[in-house]
Amino acid sequence: MDSRSHTPVTAALRLCLHALLTGLLALVAVRAVGGAAPHAGAVVALVVVTAAVYAAGAVVGTRGGAPAGSGARDAAVRPDGGAGAQARPETGAGAQAGPETEAEAEAEAETETDAETVRSRVRAGSPSLRPGTRAAAVWLGGLCALWIVLLVLSPDALWVAFPLYFLQLHLLPTRSGVAAVLVTAAAAITSFVAHRQEIAPGAFIGPLLGAAVAIATVLGYDALFRESERRRELIVELVATRAELAEAERTAGTLAERERLAREIHDTLAQGLSSIQLLLRAAERTLPGGAPATAHVRAAREAAQANLAEARSFVRALTPPDLERGSLAAALERLCARTTGPGLTVRFAVSGTPVELPTPYEVALLRTAQSALANTVRHAGAGRAEITLSFMDTSVALDVVDDGRGFDPAAVPVDERGDGGFGLPAMRSRAATLGGTLSVESAPGQGTALAVTLPVAGPALGAERAA
C-alpha cells in the first residue's frame, strides 16, 4: 500500500469523507421521514441502497489494493480507506543489505514469489477501485445514478453533491473529473430550482463554491505531493552521494596514510638496517679468521638482515594496490588502458633497461602519471596522450605528452584546484621530496609535455641494491 495512505492527514481526510457522506445520507432520510415527504419510503430505500453501494466500494477497494505505478493521485481522498500501492525500490543510503549467502537469497526470492502469487490471486478475485480504472468508473457511475434518482425525489439530496465532488476528482482523470464535478454542480442547481420553483443566488453560489473548493483542494494536494516526492528523491540522492563521498575520502585518506608509512619505513628503518648490515658485513670481513667476535658479528648481521626483510615486507604491504600486482611498468600500462576511452587514446612505452626501483620512487612516478592523465582528461580535451618511462644510468624519467589545448604554465596559480589534489604543485612537491625535478612545457593550442626526473645513482639506491 502506498505510504501516503498511512499518514495521519490522509487517514483523517478519508474518515471525514466517510462521515460526511454517511451523515448527509442520514439527513436526507430523516428529513424525508420527519417532514412526511410524498415519497418518504422510496427516499429511505434509496438512501439505504446508496449507502450499501458506497460501503461495498470501500470494502472492495480495501481488499483489492493497488498495483505499482498508480500515480500521484493515489493519496487523494478515497472511499476505499486505502491508497494504491506503489512499488518503490529502496536505493542509495536507504537500501538494505541483501542476503549474505546464496541459500538466503534463494529463500528470500521464494518468499517474495509466494507473496506476490497470493497478492495476484486476491486482486484477480476482487477488483479494486483504483483511480483511472474501469471498475472505479462503473462504481462511481452507479453511485451518481442513485444520487440523481434521490435528487429527483428529495431536494435535501443536493448536499450529497459535495462528497461526490471529491470522489469524482480522485477516481477519474483530471479533465474527466473536473467535467464530472461541473455536471454534478449543474444537476444540484437544477434540482434546487425544480423543487423550490424559484431562482435564488444561493442555489448557484453553494454548489459552484463547493465545486471550486473541491477542485482547488484535490489538485493543490496533488501538486504539493509531487513536489514533496521530488524533494524526497533529492534527499535520498543527496544522502547516497554524501555516503559515497565520505567513503571515497576515507579510501583516499587510507591510501595516503599507507603511502606515508611505507615511505617513512623505507627511508628510516629499512635504510638504517641496510646500512647496519653493510657495516657488519665489512666488519666480518676485516676480522681475522677464528676471532671470537666473528660469531657475534655474524649473528648481528643475520638479525639485521632478517629485520630488514621484515621491514621491506611491511613496505610492500603498504604500497598502492596498482603496484601490488606487478611492476611499475605494468601498473602504468594498466593505467593507460583504463584511461583510454571514446575520444582519447593513451599509449605507454618503456625506454632503456628496467631496473627495480625503491617503493617511494615507484609510488611517486605512478601518482604523477595518474595526476597528469587526470588533468589531460579533465582539462586538455586531447585526442592522444603518451606515457614514456625511461631508465637511464643515473636517473629515471617519466614523460606524459598530450595533443590537447595546452595552457600557459606561467599563468597557473599556486594551487589551481585549491584542494592539494592533482595540481602541478603537488606533483612538483612529490618529486622534490625524492630529490627530483618536474618540468612542464606547454602553450595554448600546442598540447602539453610534462616530465619528472628522479635520481637513482645516489646512496639510497646504492644501499637498496647492495642489500
pLDDT at residue 13 above 60? yes
Strand locations in 134-209, DSSP E?
none
Give residue-wise pLDDT tens across range 425-461. 878 888 888 889 999 988 888 888 999 999 986 444 4
pLDDT at residue 27, rounded to an integer: 86
pLDDT at residue 239, rounded to an integer: 92
- At residue 139, φ and ψ (nearest 5 deg) are -60, -45
Cα(263)–Cα(460) distance, rounded to whole angstroms?
Answer: 12
> What's the pLDDT band for 377 if we cut at 50, 70, 90?
confident
pLDDT at residue 451, rounded to an integer: 92
Full DSSP string of 165-230 = HHHHHHHS-HHHHHHHHHHHHHHHHHHHHHHHTS--HHHHHHHHHHHHHHHHHHHHHHHHHHHHHH
> What's the pLDDT band for 318 if we cut at 50, 70, 90?
low
Query: What's the average model confidence in pLDDT over 57-63?
Result: 67
Full DSSP string of 114-145 = HHHHHHHHHHHHS----TTSHHHHHHHHHHHH
Mean pLDDT lowest among 202-206, 390-394, 397-401: 202-206
CB 402 within 8 A of CB 339: no
Q: Which residues are bridge partners to 347 per DSSP?
A: 386
Give 39's DSSP letter.
T
How many helices (H) and strands (E) would you count in the chain? Answer: 14, 5
CA dihedral of 345, 348, 349, 355, whole degrees rounded to 10: 170
Cα(410)–Cα(216) distance, rounded to whole angstroms?
Answer: 63
Task: Please indicate whether residue 43 or residue 59 has the higher confidence score (pLDDT).
Answer: 43
Cα(126)–Cα(316) distance, rounded to whole angstroms?
Answer: 67
pLDDT at residue 299 above 90? no
Task: Please indicate whether residue 183 or residue 192 has the higher confidence score (pLDDT).
Answer: 183
The CA-based angle 371-373-378, given to 5 degrees, is: 95
pLDDT at residue 396, rounded to an integer: 92
CB 331 within 8 A of CB 281: no
The CA-atom distances, in angstroms, between 221 and each of 72, 162, 225, 228, 342 are 10, 17, 6, 10, 47
Provide the grid cell at 132.
Answer: 483511472
Cα(313)–Cα(364) distance, rounded to whole angstroms?
Answer: 19
Give residue-wise pLDDT tens across range 104-120. 445 455 545 554 543 44
pLDDT at residue 390, rounded to an integer: 92
> Which positions ≥6 away from 83 have C-beta within 8 Å?
1, 2, 4, 5, 10, 66, 70, 74, 75
What number of other Cβ atoms are within 10 A of residue 456's Cβ? 22
- At residue 109, φ and ψ (nearest 5 deg) are -65, -40
Query: What's the average model confidence in pLDDT over 213-230?
Result: 87
pLDDT at residue 413 above 60? no
Q: 452: helix, coil or strand?
A: strand
pLDDT at residue 129, rounded to an integer: 67
Q: Which residues are bridge partners to 351 per DSSP?
A: 390
What number of other Cβ atoms are within 10 A of residue 69's Cβ? 10
CB 369 within 8 A of CB 424: no
N-terminal to C-terminal alpha carbon distance within the chain: 71
Q: Which of 102-106, 127-131, 256-260, 363-367 is the most confident on average? A: 363-367
pLDDT > 70: what percent of the chain? 73
Give residue-wise pLDDT tens across range 28-53. 888 888 876 677 888 888 889 988 88
Cα(195)–Cα(167) distance, rounded to whole angstroms?
Answer: 26
Computed over every residue of the chain, the mean pLDDT equals 75
pLDDT at residue 398, rounded to an integer: 92
pLDDT at residue 101, rounded to an integer: 42
Give residue-wise pLDDT tens across range 145-174. 998 888 888 888 888 888 888 888 888 888
